[in-house]
Amino acid sequence: MDAPTASQVDFDADKLRAFIAENLGIDAKRVTDEAHFSDDLGLNWLDKLELMILIEYAFVDFEFSDEAAHEIEVVGDLIRQIEMSKKTHCYEKARA
């Protein structure tokens, strides 16, 4: 079985940042990798959970584990989690 190609694991972090900004009603420039969901973007734990559910629906083939959801504190954590999950998912599909 072949390993996943770059196109299979591509993930557009800028689209995710724009999606977050749109859903929070804020300027996309505020959604940086270092932006903390609570301190910088003003989300409480429930707001963050709701945003993560929206992201799961918007970005197909992705679901946050409970553990991952608790560990995500900044936008960069979220992006890395999605990228890792997509790579793993594509690799598993390629092996099947």
Q: Is residue 88 part of a domain?
A: yes
Q: Is residue 68 part of a domain?
A: yes
**Residue 88, pLDDT score:** 62
Amino acid at 91: Y
Distances (CA, A) of 53 to 8, 60, 82: 23, 12, 13
**Residue 10, pLDDT score:** 65
Number of domains, the chain: 1
**Residue 67, pLDDT score:** 87
CATH number for the domain including 14? 1.10.1200.10
pLDDT in tens, 50-82: 999 999 888 766 788 888 888 999 999 999 998
Q: Is residue 1 part of a domain?
A: no
Tell which residue, 33, 37, 21, has the closest CA to residue 70: 37
Q: Is residue 32 part of a domain?
A: yes
The pair of three-digit structure tokens given for residue 52, joined into one six-digit string: 């993560």
> Which residue range is the domain that position 32 belongs to?
6-95
Q: Which is more confident, 6 or 40?
A: 40
User: Which stretch of 8-12, 25-29, 30-34, 73-77 has the lowest confidence by average pLDDT?
Assistant: 8-12
Q: How confident is the model at residue 4 (pLDDT cuts 50, 70, 90)?
A: very low
Q: Is residue 85 part of a domain?
A: yes
Q: Is residue 84 part of a domain?
A: yes
Number of neighbours of residue 57 by Cβ within 10 angstroms: 9
Q: Is residue 43 part of a domain?
A: yes
Q: Cα separation of 57 and 67, whole Å?
A: 19
Residue 91 has pLDDT above 50, yes or no: no
